[in-house]
Amino acid sequence: MDASTMQGGDAAFWERAGRHMLSYGGNFVPFVAARAAGAFVYDAQGRRVLDFTSGQMSAILGHSHPEIVATLSAAAASLDHLFSSMLSVPVVDLAEALARLVPALPRVMLLSTGGEANEAAIKIAKLVTGGWEIVGFAQSWHGMTGGAAAATYKAGRRGYGPAAAGSFAIPAPNAFRPRFANWSWQAELDDAFDLLDRQSTGNLAAFIAEPILSSGGIIELPQGYLAALKAKCAERGMLLILDEAQTALGRTGTMFAFERDDVTPDILVLSKTLGAGLPLSAVMTSQAIGHECATRGFLFYTTHVNDPLPAAVGLKVLEIVERDGLAARAAALGAKLKKGLIDLQSRHRCIGDVRGRGLLLGLEFIDEPAGKKRSAAILSDAVTDHALKLGLSANIVRAGSSGGVMRIAPPLTVLEAEIDLGLDLLNAAMDEVLRN
């Protein structure tokens, strides 16, 4: 990174970063955050950037929410960390609050990250079913550790040797880019499970899925798909694990994304949104599965399991989301934002599709027509980079060789004026890129 591209930092800072920071996926953006508040992040010079990804898709209450700051301060002054076998009131309170929201899944374990929680969920499924084959979507992202990485197909599979034995993938339903002519998700799902049955050794344990595949390009499971998927799991003695890292706690317009389909998973994984930006995740399951775990000696003993400080934060997050009606707010503001994105689509031919639910939306770029011939990937990168220069932080994920999808997920506390500002900045970025 040369000095001409730097923002919010100086040459000495970037030289030190280049010397010491290990690259872990993609390039660091040319912005050095010094503080954040609400929907904005600021550098040391006071330049602000509108955060349209809620940090790492997590800060659903915005940055430095005063009640979260107060909760953190009080928790740190009383109980921060305990021996892993020692329980505390905040931990049990949070487990009870989560069980109230999903009564069918009253058994709860609190952990730190989504990858860690998915790891635990996969181990539970293997132990309880006696199987060891795990199925996911070919566009999935569930984490970077062991079993979670083996169930992640979006990226990161090459160069590390074999993944866990019994790892299978099926295509996620994508109406914008269907795999076959006369496509239907029902036929695709039937065909995928027919192939799965032919490859399985008869030891299927679980299917792990996101209701909306975020890193996969904001691919939303069509209405009816989740029920059909759970039925196929039940037919084979598999458990259904839903990874609601990004979709839970109001993000999609309901408290949990699965509520739209009236389908409760066997195991529910929460992370990202549960801590509103702090490291907190949860695994939720039924009494029957919890009993089997205890009977069979389930082991997932970690340093920060059921820590009180993040539990106190999670409890406050649930209180605020419910008290302030943030799920309904996400539905209403999401409709406004989606309408604005569709309006941008009508003005810019580089936008092929707008999709998603609530305040988790995707904008898919397409290749330019003959003449300029810039690919969707080049266009999406250029728009993202220029938007940051203008003061908007958005995020591009790759949707295969066909191009890029911009993920748009502002905090649930975002103001209407901030949505309008984000749309204006995005429009200006597209105008500038398409002008060249």
CB within 8 Å of 431: residues ≥ 6 apart: none
What's the first-to-final CA gap in the chain, in angstroms? 23
Question: CB–CB of 410/326 below 8 Å?
Answer: no
Is the pLDDT at 268 greater than 90? The verdict is yes
Residue type, 427: N
pLDDT at 396 (0 to 100): 80
198 labelled catalytic? no
Catalytic choice (51, 133, 210, 266): 210
Q: pLDDT tens for residues 371-389?
A: 678 888 889 999 999 999 9
- Per-residue confidence (pLDDT) for residue 288, from 0 to 100: 98
What domains can be seen in the chain, in order of their start residue? 87-323 (3.40.640.10)
pLDDT recorded at residue 4: 44
- As given in the structure block, the two tokens for residue 85 are 């076998």
Q: What is the pLDDT of residues 217-247, one digit of tens each?
A: 999 999 999 999 999 999 999 999 999 999 9
Query: Which residue among the candidates 107, 230, 272, 355 is catalytic per the annotation?
Result: 272
Alpha helix segments (H runs only) across 244-372: 287-295, 308-323, 326-347
Burial class (CB in 10 A: 0-12, 13-18, 19+), 42: middle
- Write down the catalytic residue from 243, 261, 364, 418: 243
Distance CA 128, CA 53 (A): 37
Q: At 243, which helix (H) or strand (E)?
A: strand 239-243
Residue 141 catalytic? yes
Taking the C-alpha atoms of residue 410 and residue 358, their distance in angstroms, rounded to an integer, is 10
The pLDDT of residue 156: 87
Contacts of 145 (CB under 8 A, 6+ apart): 115, 116, 119
* Segment 120-133 mean pLDDT: 98
Of 132, 141, 236, 364, which residue is the catalytic one?
A: 141
For residue 194, indicate whether it is catalytic.
no
pLDDT band at 8 (very low <50, low <70, confident <90, very high): low
Q: Are 51 and 36 in contact (CB under 8 A)?
A: yes
Determine which one of 154, 236, 355, 407 is catalytic: 407
Pairwise CA distance, residues 246 & 60, whole Å: 10
Beta-strand pair 360-365/351-357 = antiparallel
In single-letter form, the type of residue at position 345 comes to Q
Question: Is the backbone of residue 297 left (phi > 0), alpha (psi -120 to 50) or beta?
Answer: left
For the chain, give the percent of residues with pLDDT over 90. Answer: 87
Is the pLDDT reported for residue 330 higher than 50? yes
Give the pLDDT confidence of 174-203 residue by residue, as tens digits.
999 998 888 999 999 999 999 999 999 999
> pLDDT per residue over 29-66, tens digit each?
899 999 999 999 999 999 999 999 999 999 999 999 99
Question: In the prediction, which pLDDT does 403 show?
Answer: 57
**Strands (DSSP E) found in 87-149:** 107-111, 133-137
Is 261 one of the annotated active-site residues of the chain?
no
Q: How confident is the model at residue 274 (pLDDT cuts 50, 70, 90)?
A: very high
Mean pLDDT of the chain: 93
Is 243 tagged catalytic? yes
Amino acid symbol at 123: K
pLDDT at 340: 98
Distance CA(231)–CA(209), nearest Å, equals: 14
- Catalytic-labelled residue, pool 14, 133, 185, 246: 246
Q: Quick check: 10 pLDDT over 50?
A: yes
183 a catalytic residue: no
Strand ranges across the sheet with 267-270: 107-111, 281-285, 267-270, 239-243, 204-209, 133-137, 167-170
SS (H, E, C) 174-228: CCCCCCCCCCCHHHHHHHHHHHHHHHCCCCEEEEEECCEECCCCCEECCCCHHHH
Dist CA 146 CA 4 (whole Å): 40
pLDDT per position as a tens digit, 339-368: 999 999 999 989 999 999 999 999 999 988
Give the alpha-carbon dihedral of 430, 340, 418, 336, to 10 degrees: -160
Residue 304: count other Cβ atoms within 10 Å of its Cβ.
17
To which residue do tokens 């990858």 refer? 115
From residue 216, alpha-carbon distances to 209, 213, 398 in Å are: 11, 5, 7
CA distance 228 to 246: 22
Burial class of 155 by CB neighbour count within 10 A (0 to 12, 13 to 18, 19+): middle
Q: Taking the CB of residue 109, how many other CB atoms lie within 10 A of it?
A: 22
CB 81 within 8 A of CB 308: yes
Tens digit of each residue's pLDDT (9 = 90 or more) over 389-426: 999 999 887 555 445 899 999 999 999 999 999 999 99
**H helices, E strands: number in the chain:** 13, 17
